[in-house]
Homo-oligomer: A and B are copies of this chain.
């Protein structure tokens, strides 16, 4: 019976519900309303809540009660949402998840200020967290926060660069998105008091998972079977998104010129033909596979370290990252 209970609480959905319940019980409160309403608004827009899930997974797979990791889990989601509010201003985005962005619904000033107050709330939350792992969690999050800013700046810088190298692009997305995944998972392990080597492997696993997921997503967008992905093929190409594929293409043919001459499905078809001509479908797959192999390697290491990797495998499935 006890074992059955353990198994029941160990699946991802249960952890997701655990966090959703914590989130709904901990809205931001304070005045003036124009400061606190945008904070609750952005948190209410949903999303996969992958970062708090990673923290709860990290705690559970290292043997802690995931409930003990709810505060750090929440702090990761609040930090992530802080970056969304500020990034949306920088990217001049008017919608997020189908709803108006904070600065669109309120103003740029209120976007800046409520974002600031969310970052402050992250530290408030962690300072109130009475747990031996508290200080090392704050240190890892602070290092990560700095890296996320560096990644965002690299992204902004890239708009005015003549040429963006593959290495530059990969480092940029590592900093902009992957390090917070690594941080989120590792913080869970820290709550469990996991040893340094385990923490490092979990961090690396999440970094590799994040990059693998993103590149796999890019590949599917261009070359995936619409019947399988359920998406119109070449959406990124149609939108002119500067993914790794765009960067790879740039070193083989003048993709900017091609995109300036063609739009819509015509652009998609001509671009896809060119990409395949230079075997960039295979090349992108090879890069994605590198990170995927990194994940597998990390999982092996973690298994040998006695970590229960079943949740991590379930996570790979959820994110549709191939496991073999």
Contacts and interface: CB of A to CB of B under 8 A. Distances in A.
B149 A116 contact: yes
B139 A127 contact: yes
A120 B116 CA distance: 10
Contact of A110 (B116, B121, B124, B156): B156
Interface-centre pick from A113, A138, A150 (highest chain B CB count, 10 A): A113
A127 B136 CA distance: 9
A35 B153 contact: yes
Nearest to A136: B127
Contacts of A150: 30-32, 35
A183 to B, nearest CB: 13
B121 A127 contact: no
A25 to B, nearest CB: 20
Contacts of A139: 127
Contact of A121 (B90, B146, B157): B146
| Number of chain copies forming the complex | 2
A139 B145 CA distance: 19
B153 A34 contact: yes
A273 to B, nearest CB: 36
Contacts of A108: 89-90, 108
A63 to B, nearest CB: 27
A110 to B, nearest CB: 7
Contact of A117 (B90, B135, B138, B149): B149
The range of chain A's interface size is: 35 or more
Interface string A102-136: 00000011101101110111011001000000010
Interface of A: 30-32, 34-35, 86, 89-90, 108-110, 112-113, 115-117, 119-121, 123-124, 127, 135, 138-139, 142-143, 145-146, 149-150, 152-154, 156-157
24 contacts: A30-B146, A32-B150, A34-B153, A35-B149, A35-B153, A89-B108, A89-B109, A90-B109, A108-B108, A110-B153, A110-B156, A112-B115, A113-B149, A113-B152, A116-B116, A116-B119, A116-B149, A117-B146, A120-B142, A123-B123, A123-B142, A127-B135, A127-B142, A135-B135
Given A90-B109, A110-B153, A112-B112, 10 more contacts: A31-B150, A34-B153, A86-B113, A90-B108, A109-B156, A113-B149, A113-B156, A123-B142, A124-B142, A127-B142
